[in-house]
Amino acid sequence: MKVTGTDGKEYTIEPRANLSKANLVHADLRDADLSKANLRGANLVHADLSGADLADAYLDEANLMDTNLSKANLRDANLEWANLSGANLNNANLSGAVWNDNTVFPEGFEIPEKSRDLDGQDGDFGL
């Protein structure tokens, strides 16, 4: 699948895709397979990633503000320094996902016990 970003560039959406620093604001990526993709520093504000497979994806430093991640598979994804404020994480799979104290989760979001805080110990969620 090909998507044109708000920066005018065309991006290929596929497993292991290199989308580092891609500008995909408002992108429709429903049910996309982005497993093991590099999305470091990507701008995904208001994107629709509902049902997307982001297993083992690198989302560190990604801007996921107000992104729809409902039913997304984020198993073992790297969320260090990611901004997820306002994101919809309903029924998202965050098992094994890694994050740090600089990761911003939606207000009131309860971090699943099976995700890992790399700044602390497993199960120590800094809350």
What are the DSSP calls for 76-116, one per residue? T-B-TT-B-TT-B-TT-B-TT-EE-TT-BPPTTPPPPTTSE
Cβ-based neighbours of 5, under 8 Å, separated by 6 or more:
11, 22, 23, 24, 25, 27
CB 95 within 8 A of CB 75: yes
pLDDT at res. 124? 38
| Domain 1-120, classified CATH 3.40.50.2300, yes or no | no
Q: Taking the C-alpha atoms of 100, 104, 108 and 113 in order, what is their torsion angle to the nearest 10 degrees?
A: -20
pLDDT at res. 115? 64
* d(C-alpha 118, C-alpha 44), whole Å: 23
Which tens digit of pLDDT belongs to each residue from 9-27? 888 899 999 999 999 999 9
pLDDT at res. 116? 63
Read off the pTM. 0.86
pLDDT at 79 over 90: yes
CA 124 to each of CA 60, 76, 106, 121: distance values in angstroms, whole numbers, following the listed order: 20, 17, 18, 5
- pLDDT band at residue 47, thresholds of 50, 70 and 90? very high
